[in-house]
Amino acid sequence: MVGDVVNPAGERSGATGSGGRRSRSSTGQFGALGLSIADPRVESSVLGVLDTVEADLRASVASADPFVTEAARHLVEAGGKRFRPLLVALGAQFGDPTGPEVVPAAVVMELTHLATLYHDDVMDEAAVRRGAPSANSRWTNSVAILVGDYLFARAADIAADLGPEAVRLQARTFARLVHGQIAETVGPREGDDPVGHYLQVIGDKTGSLIATSARFGGMFGGAAPEHIEALAGYGETIGVAFQLSDDLLDIASESIQSGKTPGTDLREGVPTLPVLYALAADDSDAASVRLREILATGPVTDDALHAEALGLLRESPALKRARETVRSYAEEARTRLAPLPETPARQALESLCDFVADRTS
């Protein structure tokens, strides 16, 4: 699945401090994302937003029913990078980051994201999420689906206080998420380009919510309209770039850098970008032909074949081509920032482009 992005170095632990606030250090919080904030005042502002979001997330999912509260807080307390609230906080730096609607906007984005994770785990039959038992394995699929619905409802309720435009944008983003999930489930239709289909799925399932997060930051920080549009374009593109780089890490990393055991997608038959490039190649050398033979069988569950395919992929032109695709998205994201003023916040966003371009080299 492509729902739980961005995960460049595994999920953070869920340790929290007093009052439900998560204990943070700027090095731990931003370093894992490759984010660099040079200005201490901007860094303090962003961390302040994230700390308030953390407390508000817990409060926003509370219910009169203790069971609903427990199930809804399950993933909140499991941790996460809070990448979407981070982009809201950075986007607000191009206006007034202390605006009263910035934190609620960030909460809406994270609740929407968390809701998708409950649903994703049901569809994937996942047993673990962020190092903890998934909601569907701890309770049941039905409970996980209903809790995801509850989180969507809570997000919509908070968005209503932000005004009709926020509700409209959240609803349209949700529609794209659903379209992406359906497209992924159905697969490419006859005559469709599998790579184009895959990139569209990632744009809908991952890029859309990250784009709206950056847009919300600009909107509720009071940024200029052209800056808001630049932020949204950046968010969409950097979101796709991060997801594609996760695809590469699943193959290229020798450790759990991607947050999961290398080759997991290959074992589960998930057709990620390097695999799609390898299947589409017409190279006639023995290694390429052998790789296509193995990949064409679907999920590679045999340990010996899995090791062989992983080794072939790591040395294949397909992986090199996928790296070039990731780098092109990272550079496009940087280009989208051009209308923004040269500020520490823009430099921070640019540092993400550098990170995603280099992390799979």
pLDDT of residue 9: 33
Map out the domains of the chain as residue ranges. 36-223, 253-360
What tens digit of pLDDT does each residue of 25-49 get? 444 466 666 788 888 999 999 999 9
Tokens of 258: 């991607």
pLDDT (0 to 100) of residue 7: 39
What is the per-residue pLDDT for 112? Answer: 95
The 3-state DSSP class for residue 222 equals coil
pLDDT of residue 130: 61
| 36-223: CATH topology | Farnesyl Diphosphate Synthase (1.10.600)
With a cut of 70, list the residues of the chain below it in pLDDT.
Answer: 1-33, 124-132, 137, 254-260
CA atoms within 13 A on the CB side of 311: 8
Q: Is 225 exposed, middle or buried (0-12, 13-18, 19+ CB in 10 A)?
A: exposed
For residue 6, the model assigns a pLDDT of: 38
What is the rounded distance in angstroms from the CA atom of residue 236 to the CA atom of residue 281?
28
What is the structure's pLDDT at 283? 84
pLDDT, residue 127, reads 66
Q: Which single residue is written with the structure tokens 């999930």?
A: 181
SS3 state of residue 150 = helix
Write down the pLDDT at residue 2.
Answer: 42
Alpha-carbon gap, residue 281 to 287, rounded angstroms = 12
